[in-house]
Amino acid sequence: MSAPERQGSFWCEQGWVNGAVVAGVRLEIDAAGTVTGAETGIPARSGDCLLAGVTFPAASNAHSHAFHRVLRGRTHAAGPGSFWTWREHMYETAGALTPELYEQLATAVFTEMVVTGWTSVAEFHYVHHQPDGSAYAQEHAMERALARAAVAAGIRLTLLDTCYLAGGFDAPLSAAQLRFGDRDGAAWLQRLASLRAAFAAEFDPAQVSVGAALHSVRGVPEAELELISRMLPADLPLHIHLSEQPAENDACREATGLTPALLLAKHGLVTRRLSAVHATHLSEEDMTALGNAGATVVMCPSTEADLADGIGPAAELHAAGARIALGTDQHAVVDPWLEMRALEHGERLRSGERGRFAPADLHAAVSRAGAESQGRRAPGLAAGDTCDLMSVDPGTIRTAGSDPGQLALTATAADVHTVVVGGRILARHGRHTVLGDPAALLSAAVAALDASRRSPTPAATTEDP
């Protein structure tokens, strides 16, 4: 089935404009899927595509590991556990991936994102090579698989090609990490440049683009940070896992005398283009550095709860000048509304106060800040915005009676009835208009991965077609 046609205009029964819900919002859309005109308080015109309920800017997922979706509901064994025990399950899943299996799985995961309201995603990607660390016969086989998956689902992909060189401070990559690594920082930069050239030739940059990531300060030795700071192209967004665990902070201080954030600052990497993911365990000096730089901090509240990471100082970071964005990370939940709510609820639990983030702050975090962290134009209902929208039913069992401007505190993805990407309707009532039911796609993809693990011949050596 081909992609639906782009609409020339939309009329929203109610729409989120300048931080408030207003009635009768009419949008004009150009051939690139950008809003060229917006009017409010007017009736629909002949030919307008009608969006009932309340229409919001679509969500921009600022942190994803698509293959982690396999772990949902599978890592909660009896007895105590932590991020570090969960990580062993993650390595096992990573070891079973092939380009074919990853394309199938990522297509399903990206489809799940689209139908729930996420229309762009920063994919923090480090499964580059075969399990033994050797290259695939086709260059960038895994990366191409993810790009094809994004095109199939219709989501905007920023592939964050990740530098992952060490298993810890003064520790080599483990056997399970070999497929993540490059020889050194220079080799990663060379492969990154090759990937950018390949993707520019193959994919529409409005659909698929390339960014950069450092896995963590424990995964990239300090000597390589200095090189990367000098040589990384200035036009690329840069993401990093930062201070997710106290153990990471302790190890960094022992090895360098600095916290992870201050180590990055030492090498000129804490700038406006930086997105620090998690940032759960920060010092006052860390928060000041990130805030003064206007960096983005990507909170993943449902993942941070699922992994028992802790609750990060989101309000303090916001007050210091950092932008707060949201991501789904390991996909314990794929729901922008629950991530918004979890951000505010975490702040309430941590502070004993309500209203730490107003609804306008939550929508900015889940849409505009996430798009900016990817180097993308923000979605929205104003001229110049990308026409990526999600429309919500205000009369469901969850939303009935809500002030439309406070739906961020009551709605879930189940209340999203229409999702628009670049002026095209790609989801209605939880089904993708091209690929159908994401649950069926996910079930098939997980079953295929499970079958490959049982295969007597390791599927991980399969080449990309």
Active site residues: 278, 329
Adjacency order of strands within the sheet including 274-278 = 59-64, 118-125, 156-163, 208-214, 238-242, 274-278, 296-299, 323-326
Q: What's the start-to-end Cα distance of the chain, in Å?
A: 22
What's the one-letter identity of residue 200? A
CA dist., res. 421 & res. 424, Å (int): 5
CB 363 within 8 A of CB 408: yes
Nearest to 339 by CA among 371, 384, 370, 313: 370
Q: Which residues pair with 428 in a beta bridge?
A: 418, 431
Q: What is the 3-state secondary structure (H, E, C) of 31-94?
A: CCCEEEEEECCCCCCCCCEEEEEEEEECEEEEEECHHHHHHCCCCCCCCCCCHHHHHHHHHHHH
Residues in CB range of 75: below 8 A, 6 or more apart: 81, 86, 89
Let me know if 31 is exposed, middle or buried by CB neighbors in 10 A (0-12, 13-18, 19+).
exposed
CB 322 within 8 A of CB 294: yes
Phi/psi region, residue 358 (left: phi>0; alpha: psi -120 to 50; beta: rest), is: beta
Residues in CB range of 454: below 8 A, 6 or more apart: none
Residues in CB range of 48: below 8 A, 6 or more apart: 9, 10, 11, 26
CA dist., res. 323 & res. 277, Å (int): 12
Q: Which residues pair with 61 in a beta bridge?
A: 121
